[in-house]
Amino acid sequence: MADYAFYTGTYHGGSIPETDFPRFAARAGEQLARYKRIYTVTAPETDSESMATCAMADALYYFETVQNAPQSVSIGSVSSSRGTAVDISPRAQSKELYRCACLYLNIYRGVD
């Protein structure tokens, strides 16, 4: 599994704070393990799995950040509300995680 040094040094990520990275990397690793159980997954390069894990961790961090963002803010008599313009449904999250994994891994969904 990728560590924070790999995330910042090799993957060149910077959006996930170091304290939160292990949680997101673990969730991404669990998703990658699920793909390996269901599909035929091959890594074309040595660091491909770690790169895929980092990409999925970034996506998971993004989705959690959007979900936890306040939808409305009030200061005194002035208030502002906004809707979420991004699809954060479980289906959209699943599709994005698969897309991130496919950036670095060959995932074969067919039958041998």
CA-wise closest residue to 54 among 26, 86, 90, 88: 26
pLDDT, the chain, mean: 89
pLDDT in tens, 7-22: 999 999 999 999 999 9
Please report how many Cα atoms fall inside a 13 Å half-sphere around the Cα of residue 57, on the Cβ side. 30
Q: Is the pLDDT of residue 112 over 60?
A: no
Q: pLDDT digits over 70-104, tens only?
A: 666 667 777 666 655 677 889 999 999 999 999 99
Spatial CA neighbour of 86 closest among 99, 71, 73, 98:
71
Q: Which helix or strand (DSSP H or E) is residue 44 part of?
A: none
What's the pTM? 0.84
Domain boundaries, the chain: 4-67+89-108
